Amino acid sequence: MLGDIVGKQQEAEEWIASYEAKVKEVVAKLNVQTGESASVFLLLGKDFYVMGDKSFAATLYHTLGYTPAPEIQKNLIDANERFANISNELLPDFAGDWLFVLTDEDDAARAASESYAQSAIWKSIPAVKNGQVIYMPTKWNFSDPITMERLLDQLPAIRKK
């Protein structure tokens, strides 16, 4: 444990206990149902990437209890792939009950996101039809303790929007 290495074992144990308590609180707020799936897409420029189970996706799957969409499990997680570039036509195959779309916050990213949102393929995805799409800045795509803790603080409010 890093706390042992830097002589901060007590502080590390306190942080872990606090984080685990916060996880329980957030899981209760989100009310993720058994088998409820999620997908994490990363939109960079005009390219869509589907995420495996690292960084932001790890928090959704391993911490908060979402299940990866079956194609994500099969093609990324089981294959130990962090992410894959996918064509527009394949987006529905990788879509879960919830879509978390990570994008940059510049004008080009907004334009690309709006363009995808108007496409027939995007509109055909059940999560889109059900209003279960959450757009988030790419700054959340990390798995360091500070980002993970801030994500737990913010995610319930973000998901309610």
Per-residue pLDDT of 136-150, as tens digits, reads 999 988 888 888 888
Q: What's the number of domains the chain is made of?
A: 1
Q: Does some domain include residue 64?
A: yes
Per-residue pLDDT of 19-63, as tens digits, reads 899 899 998 898 888 999 999 999 988 888 999 999 999 999 999
Q: Does some domain include residue 84?
A: yes
38 CB burial (10 A radius; 0-12, 13-18, 19+): buried
Instruction: Give CA torsion, residues 92, 51, 20, 97, to 10 deg.
Output: 0
Q: Does some domain include residue 52?
A: yes
Q: Does some domain include residue 127?
A: yes
Q: Which residue has the higher pLDDT, 31 or 78?
A: 78
Q: Model-level pTM?
A: 0.88
The model's confidence at residue 95, banded by pLDDT at 50, 70 and 90, is very high
Print the domain residue range for 139: 33-147
Q: What confidence score (pLDDT) does residue 1 get?
A: 63
Q: Does some domain include residue 116?
A: yes
8 A C-beta contact, residue 85 and residue 47? yes
Q: Does some domain include residue 7?
A: no
The CATH number of whichever domain residue 55 belongs to comes to: 3.40.50.1980
- Long-range (24+ apart) CB contacts under 8 A made by 30-34 are 30/64, 30/155, 30/156, 30/159, 32/64, 32/65, 32/66
At 51 the three-state DSSP class reads strand
